[in-house]
Amino acid sequence: MNPIRPLLLAMAGSPTWKRLLTGWSVTHRVVARFVPGETLDEALGAARQLNDAGMMATLNPLGEDVSDPEQAMAATDAYIEILDRVAAEQLDCSISVKLTLLGLDLDADLAAANLERLLSTAAQHGNFVRIDMEASEHVEATLSMSRSLERRFDNFGLVVQSYLRRTTDDIDRLVQAGTPLRVVKGAYKEPEHVAFADKRDVDHNYARILDRLAQDDARRNDVRVAVASHDAALIAHARNLIDELQLDGWEFQMLYGIGRPLQRQLVEDGYSVRIYVSYGPSWYPWFMRRLAERPANIGFFLRHLFD
Ligand code: FDA
């Protein structure tokens, strides 16, 4: 393990470090490149700019852990407010939702009821809800909720993580159901019996998943695929598949502020691109955890201090 990682994780949870770093204007300048702000207005402004640059957006309000049903209801109301504002401002912008914020850890039925409320509002606005995939202990509950809702709603999609050993099996069923799928590598710390430890295996599995999603049955079932990665080799692989097989309904997704030249290039070359915009007052622990996941990013962030 990188020795800086525990330090960064400790800093993520430390009020003293939070006070020091959030009070420093340099931090704000660096963070602003990756988090457009703390408020919904700022996030909608970023979505507007992305739309103007030919890209779609998906908003991810950064939330604190939910510890009672009222907080889960409040989080649901906040997601609904985003959908209402996006509709009022006529933005090309979906939302990305975490089931734990809707109360999954408290009570799966509560989370399902909140999700239904959200999907109904999104349907009224003709919008789409992406259910982010969280750590592996939530995968089964997420898939089961999707199964119970797929007959009534067609405006939500799931995320599959290429680091998980189980994903290949999950995909076969998701393809039969025609579920829209975002493919990611996976962002959580998982034990080796659950997830591939070697990055090469994760990358290889990602390419295999894309190949699987380009097969005839997925195309027959109109599975919409979002290739969510900044990995140039995998993006090139996806581009080849899209071009050679004339795949419809595929899009690229990247995180706000990361890989901007690649984002622009894809738009210029005529592909659909959606940017995942995280925002909110809880940006500090989120930002520090992203750094901890990838301590190499410290250099990346520092380089961008001056451009
Ligand atoms: P990799 O990590 O191999 O990076 C490839 C290259 O991209 C790097 O060499 C670097 O150049 C650049 N890069 C990548 N990340 C960077 C960073 N943070 N800063 C600077 N440069 C970076 N995960 C999950 O478990 N559940 C989910 O629901 C989602 N949702 C999601 C949505 C979207 C739109 C994206 C882009 C990602 C996610 N993820 C996610 C996160 C995902 O699992 C993964 O952790 C990150 O995308 C990083 O992996 P890459 O595929 O970019 O490859």
| CB-based pocket (< 6 A), ligand 1 | 132-133, 159, 161, 184-188, 228-231, 253-255, 258-259, 276, 290, 294, 297, 300
Instruction: Identify whether 201 is part of a domain.
Output: yes
pLDDT at 26: 66
pLDDT at 307: 41
Q: Indicate if the pLDDT at residue 306 is higher than 70.
A: no
Residue 71 carries which side chain, given as an amino acid letter?
A: Q
**Do 235 and 227 form a contact (C-beta atoms < 8 A)?**
yes
Instruction: Identify whether 80 is part of a domain.
Output: yes
pLDDT at 119: 98
φ/ψ (deg, to 5) at 50: -65, -45
How does pLDDT run across 37-62, given as a tens digit for each residue? 989 999 999 999 999 999 999 999 99
Which atom of ligand 1 has the smallest separation from the CA of 255?
A: 36
Residue 151 CA to residue 172 CA, distance in Å, equals 18
Which token pair is 258? 């990361």
pLDDT at 146: 97
How does pLDDT run across 188-225, given as a tens digit for each residue? 889 999 999 999 999 999 999 999 999 999 999 999 99
Instruction: Identify whether 124 is part of a domain.
Output: yes
Residues 107-128: what's their mean pLDDT? 98
pLDDT at 74: 96
Using 50, 70 and 90 to split pLDDT, how confident is the model at 13? confident
Residue 64 CA to residue 193 CA, distance in Å, equals 29
**Do 111 and 103 form a contact (C-beta atoms < 8 A)?**
yes
Instruction: Identify whether 298 is part of a domain.
Output: no
Helix (H, G, I), strand (E, B) or coil at 18: helix
CA of 229 to the centre of ligand 1 (A): 5
Residues 130-144: what's their mean pLDDT? 97
Instruction: Identify whether 102 is part of a domain.
Output: yes
Non-local CB neighbours of 168 within 8 Å, separated by 6+ positions: 205, 208, 209, 212
Residues 283-296: what's their mean pLDDT? 75
**What is the overall mean pLDDT for the chain?**
92
Using 50, 70 and 90 to split pLDDT, how confident is the model at 165? very high
Q: Indicate if the pLDDT at residue 145 is higher than 50.
A: yes
pTM: 0.93
Non-local CB neighbours of 45 within 8 Å, separated by 6+ positions: 36, 37
pLDDT at 65: 79
Instruction: Identify whether 115 is part of a domain.
Output: yes
User: Which residues form the catalytic set?
Assistant: 132, 182
Residues 89-106: what's their mean pLDDT? 97
Q: Indicate if the pLDDT at residue 68 is higher than 90.
A: yes
CATH assignment at residue 101: 3.20.20.220
CA of 68 to the centre of ligand 1 (A): 31
Residue matched to tokens 């970023």? 46
Which token pair is 269? 């070359």
Instruction: Identify whether 258 is part of a domain.
Output: yes
Using 50, 70 and 90 to split pLDDT, how confident is the model at 141? very high
**What percent of the chain has pLDDT above 70?**
94
Instruction: Identify whether 58 is part of a domain.
Output: yes
Nearest CA to ligand 1 atom 32: 228
pLDDT at 304: 55
Owning domain of residue 223: 36-282
* Tally of structural domains, the chain: 1
**Do 70 and 110 form a contact (C-beta atoms < 8 A)?**
no
**Do 182 and 253 form a contact (C-beta atoms < 8 A)?**
yes
Give the rounded distance of the alpha carbon of 16 from its chain centre: 29
